[in-house]
Amino acid sequence: MDLTALTLANIREALTRRQVSAVELVGAHLARIDQRDTDLRAYLTLSPDRALEQARRIDALIAAGEPLPSLAGVPVAIKDAIITRGVRTTAGSRILQNYIPPYDATVVERLESAGACLLGKTNCDEFAMGSSTENSGYFATRNPHDLTRVPGGSSGGSAAAVAAGLATVALGSDTGGSIRQPAGLCGTVGMMGTYGRVSRFGLVAFASSLDHIGPLGRSVRDVAAVLRVIAGHDPCDSTSVSQPVPDYEAMLDGPVTGFKVGVADEYFNGLSPAIGDSIQKGIDLLAKLGCQITPISLPHTDYAIACYYIIATAEASSNLARYDGVRYGFRASGYDGLAEMYRKTRDGGFGPEVKRRIMLGTHVLSSGYYDAYYLKAQKVRTLITRDFQEAFDDVDVILTPTSPIPAFKLGERLEDPLEMYLADIYTVTADLAGIPGISVPCGKTRVEGEPRLPVGMQILARHFDEARLLQLAYAFEQAGGSEV
Amino acid sequence: MALTEKDVRYVADLAHLDLTEAEVERFLPQLDSILNYVQKLNELDTREIEPMAQVSAGEAPPSLREDESRSSFAPDVALANAPGPGPGFFKVPRVIERE
């Protein structure tokens, strides 16, 4: 039994049958990380003591014949934008190089209460700003399917870890696509719930009205199980909602015949055939399963990137104002007075992409420009949200490619920041509208002379309709969707 | 409405960023290109549209908790990551001039 290729159900069975202990399971993952992570570079910080301590606790419960919590013994990886008490957390930035949080994010508390074993913190683009993990202040993570290519971003470390068996499941964060896109590029499942479904308490904030935390895993069932554990109201996050959390896993098996699946032209224009072919096969498979494929229009799609990069950068400029060298993190030396301390600290601690976004955000909020940019973008956000509301009058879910391009080569898209931004086109809309979205594996590219690279298919649903989303994703997966 | 070096320095100032010459030169065309791109939003007539500050806008406002004090971090925990800790406070350069 390859302990690093198990599902949550496999783990539960193996533990309860005493075929393996939780300590062995964690040990197998730590060993594999030791072997493969020098090449992959998915992890920034490992927490073996914490993982093994938890594993011993689980083994004691098993020995005593006690009932096990839902994620007992499961090795998890946490994106380094999510804080963990006593375990260094950097958010991928040098400005937090030595930061040791004094508390856990709510999602981390919930995972550990459910018995999960925290293996470590995964690499990400600095402050979650990026789509390739190349903006990490530390190093770039590689795609397990081709080590010369990016894993996507900003949750590239989490996606790579899950894809390569360096964790069973992982947490990532998504502001413009940062869970779904790397999941797509690495051939894993990645999901973002409705805004407010999962607490953001303990997520290093990038853009507060767009940030989400969500799970990545190798199967829809595993992602559904983790979502159930982390979702739910949190008094520490005033944007978290009181909607009850359904048992997503129990609802996976529902029939999908008759589901109206919307396909919008705007998401298929200019798509590379490498991606388009796989997605078309995915659509055909859903039709075979009895879904009604329905053409819809989302007319403001073309404005989503402009809208997103105004709102996200504006909110980021505000959220990153706290990094000033006063209470935590890096503080520059050789300054003369407080103002210079702030400036030298921020200039020394932030990478170029972060600086660019802070400046953009500051500019669009500044006096004389606020109405033209920020207020305008907020109005366009309303239009984009309305597009979805109107579409969901006619269809149950919407299907799109996750990314217009497969995993690209490291360094290939660093010249022009705008070019990198434009690749977020299929994912930013869901963050703007606050609707849930999932990316599931949908075959691999078939390009002569090129390696076969994972293609992600995205499914979007109405607010709080995660159960339906997961049902469709599960049916697709079970019908062989990842091999189309 | 092309961005100038003066604009970049002004914004950097507002954001408390100390940019080098090389950084200003590098960022100027990049920021200009992005700002140019976002002008696209002007193609849309949004005069009658309400702005959306966040997703839950329009729903019931979040409930607030009672204003009761609760336990928080001990001072030594709060100061543990401080680059310049003093006994029970954060040390920073002086801002008030002495006579």
What is the CB neighbour count within 10 angstroms for residue A98?
12
Residue of A nearest to B85 (CA): A327
The overall average pLDDT reported for chain B is 88
Secondary structure of residue A84 in the 3-state scheme: strand
Put simply, whether A308 touches B (Cβ < 8 Å) is: no
DSSP state for residue A149 in the 8-state scheme:
B
Total residues belonging to chain B:
99
Put simply, whether A326 touches B (Cβ < 8 Å) is: yes
Total residues belonging to chain A:
484
Query: For chain B, first and last CA: distance in Å?
Result: 48
The pair of three-digit structure tokens given for residue A24, joined into one six-digit string: 């062995």
Report the pLDDT value the prediction gives residue B55, as an integer from 0 to 100.
Answer: 81
Averaged over B64-75, what is the pLDDT?
Answer: 86
- Residues A332-385: pLDDT tens digits? 999 999 999 999 999 999 999 999 999 999 999 998 999 999 999 999 999 999
Token pair 């100061």 is found at B79
DSSP state for residue A302 in the 8-state scheme:
G
Place B58 in a pLDDT band, splitting at 50, 70 and 90: very low
Residue of A nearest to B84 (CA): A326
Q: Which of A86, A80, A207 minimizes the C-alpha distance to A137?
A: A80
Averaged over B53-68, what is the pLDDT?
Answer: 72
Put simply, whether B81 touches A (Cβ < 8 Å) is: yes
Residue B63 in this model has a pLDDT that exceeds 80 = no
- Comparing CB atoms, the residue among A379, A380, A418 nearest residue B33 is A418
Report the pLDDT value the prediction gives residue B61, as an integer from 0 to 100.
Answer: 67
B11: in domain: yes
B70: in domain: no
Put simply, whether A389 touches B (Cβ < 8 Å) is: no
Rounded to the nearest 10°, the torsion over CA A59, A63, A69, A74 is 30
B35: in domain: yes
Q: Which residues of B touch A416 (CB under 8 A)?
A: 30, 33
Q: Which residues of A touch B40 (CB under 8 A)?
A: 302-303, 306
Q: CB-side exposure of A122: number of CA atoms within 13 Å?
A: 36
Put simply, whether A309 touches B (Cβ < 8 Å) is: yes
Report, in angstroms and rounded to the nearest whole number, the Rg of chain A calculated over CA atoms: 21
Put simply, whether A337 touches B (Cβ < 8 Å) is: yes
Residue B20 belongs to a domain with what CATH number? 1.10.20
B contact test, residue of A318, A360, A414 with most B CBs within 10 A = A360
Structural domain of B36: 5-43
Asked if B15's CB is within 8 angstroms of A356's CB, the reply is no
Produce one character per residue of A317-346: b if its CB has 16 or more CB atoms within 10 Å, e if not.
bbbbeebbbbbbbbbbeebeeeeebbbbbb
Report the pLDDT value the prediction gives residue B71, as an integer from 0 to 100.
Answer: 85
Secondary structure of residue A380 in the 3-state scheme: helix
Which residues of A are annotated as catalytic? 79, 154, 178
> Do residues A47 and A87 touch, judged by C-beta distance below 8 A?
yes
As a whole number of angstroms, the distance between CA A448 and CA A455 comes to: 16
Asked if A339's CB is within 8 angstroms of B17's CB, the reply is no
B15: in domain: yes
Residue of B nearest to A210 (CA): B54
Report the pLDDT value the prediction gives residue B1, as an integer from 0 to 100.
Answer: 57
> Do residues A122 and A89 touch, judged by C-beta distance below 8 A?
no
Residue B31 in this model has a pLDDT that exceeds 50 = yes
Asked if A310's CB is within 8 angstroms of B38's CB, the reply is yes
- Comparing CB atoms, the residue among A306, A327, A350 nearest residue B41 is A306
Q: Which residues of A touch B50 (CB under 8 A)?
A: 379, 382
- Residues A260-278: pLDDT tens digits? 999 999 999 878 899 999 9
Q: Which of A168, A92, A102 minimizes the C-alpha distance to A130?
A: A92
Report the pLDDT value the prediction gives residue B60, as an integer from 0 to 100.
Answer: 65
The total domain count for chain B is 1
> Do residues A315 and A378 touch, judged by C-beta distance below 8 A?
no
Q: Which of A95, A38, A47 minimizes the C-alpha distance to A75?
A: A47
- Comparing CB atoms, the residue among B16, B33, B41 nearest residue A303 is B41
Q: What is the largest CA-CA distance in chain B?
A: 58
Put simply, whether B1 touches A (Cβ < 8 Å) is: no
What is the fold of A8-230? Answer: Amidase signature (AS) enzymes (3.90.1300)
The overall average pLDDT reported for chain A is 96
Beta bridge partners of A143: A146
Q: Which of A28, A117, A18 minimizes the C-alpha distance to A72?
A: A117
- Comparing CB atoms, the residue among A239, A328, A338 nearest residue B95 is A338
Residue B66 in this model has a pLDDT that exceeds 90 = no
DSSP state for residue A86 in the 8-state scheme:
T
Residue of B nearest to A103 (CA): B73
Q: Render A392-420 in DSSP notation, one character per residue.
A: HHH-SEEEEES-SS-PPBTTTT-S-HHHH
As a whole number of angstroms, the distance between CA A5 and CA A1 comes to: 8
DSSP state for residue A373 in the 8-state scheme:
I
B49: in domain: no
Report the pLDDT value the prediction gives residue B99, as an integer from 0 to 100.
Answer: 63
> Do residues A220 and A208 touch, judged by C-beta distance below 8 A?
no
Prediction ipTM score: 0.93
As a whole number of angstroms, the distance between CA A294 and CA A271 comes to: 19
Beta bridge partners of A118: A76
Residues of chain A with pLDDT under 50: none
**Three-class HEC string of chain B:** CCCCHHHHHHHHHHCCCCCCHHHHHHHHHHHHHHHHHHHHHHHCCCCCCCCCCCCCCCCCCCCCCCCCCCCCCCHHHHHCCCCCEECCEECCCCCCCCC
> Do residues A401 and A458 touch, judged by C-beta distance below 8 A?
yes
Report the pLDDT value the prediction gives residue B59, as an integer from 0 to 100.
Answer: 61
Query: Which stretch of A299-313, A399-413, B16-30, B70-84 has the lowest confidence by average pLDDT?
Result: B70-84
What is the CB neighbour count within 10 angstroms for residue A24?
16
H or E, element range at A22: helix A22-40
Q: Which residues of A touch B19 (CB under 8 A)?
A: 347, 355
